Amino acid sequence: MGDPTPAGKAPYYSDEWVTLWHGDCLELTEWTAADVLVTDPPYGRAWRQGDLHGAKRDGITGDESTAVRDAALALWGTERRAVVFGDLMLPPPIGTKLVGAYRKALDSGVRGAMGGVRRDLEAIYLVGRWPSGIGGRSSLFPTRAPLVGSPNGIVARGGGHPHTKPQDVLGELILLTQGTIADPFNGGGSVAVAAKAAGRRCVAVEIEERYCEITAKRLSQDALDFGAVS
């Protein structure tokens, strides 16, 4: 474990279910051979947390605009299915067929509220060729997991990343898909953890080594903490 991994070299971590590469997903293309994309990319809003409970949080690599997200999705293409998180205030990816929403827990979204309204929704884009029909489940995906700021909060703490997504939501999204999962924006590894929990193979890429280390620890310890994932 260490330096960014060029294509053809050993992955940062691998087991029966998950292969994790350390490097830039625009250069490491092993993930493009998977069957379905489930990912939480940089949204493109130049997010900065600042000081929170005495700890400074950095920004997110590639979050200056939607260019990194869009370049990765261009590699994936618009024919195959993809589940992509995003910001409802920014343009959706090319090829989006449906916009759903991840609803955060009742104790979330308090920072940056406007006019007494919390920021507790994020976009979930279904991109590519999905079957159409009548009926189906709601496009709203609420979580039962509280935020880290609450007394029993576990979401951000569980994933080790400021934009960690809850595992109950990721589990529901994974059930919409089939085959090997690609996650080119691994973050704290929560998609990989959710895939492993569901008995699904996953190929992930992460550009920051600190998050590769967090992911490797979670996976090697079988950290299937069903309260939280990224």
- The CA distance from 227 to 167, in Å, is 6
Instruction: For the chain, list the domains and their CATH numbers.
Output: 13-220 (3.40.50.150)
Tokens of 71: 């370049």
Comparison of pLDDT for 106 and 208, the residue scoring more: 208
Mean of per-residue pLDDT scores for the chain: 85
With cut-offs at 50, 70 and 90, classify the pLDDT of residue 106.
confident
For the segment 26-65, what is each residue's pLDDT rounded down to a tens digit? 999 999 999 999 999 999 876 666 544 444 456 778 778 8
Please check the confidence at residue 157 and state whether its pLDDT lies above 70. Answer: no
End-to-end CA gap in the chain: 21
CB 22 within 8 Å of CB 3:
yes
Cα 139 to chain centroid distance, Å, stands at 18
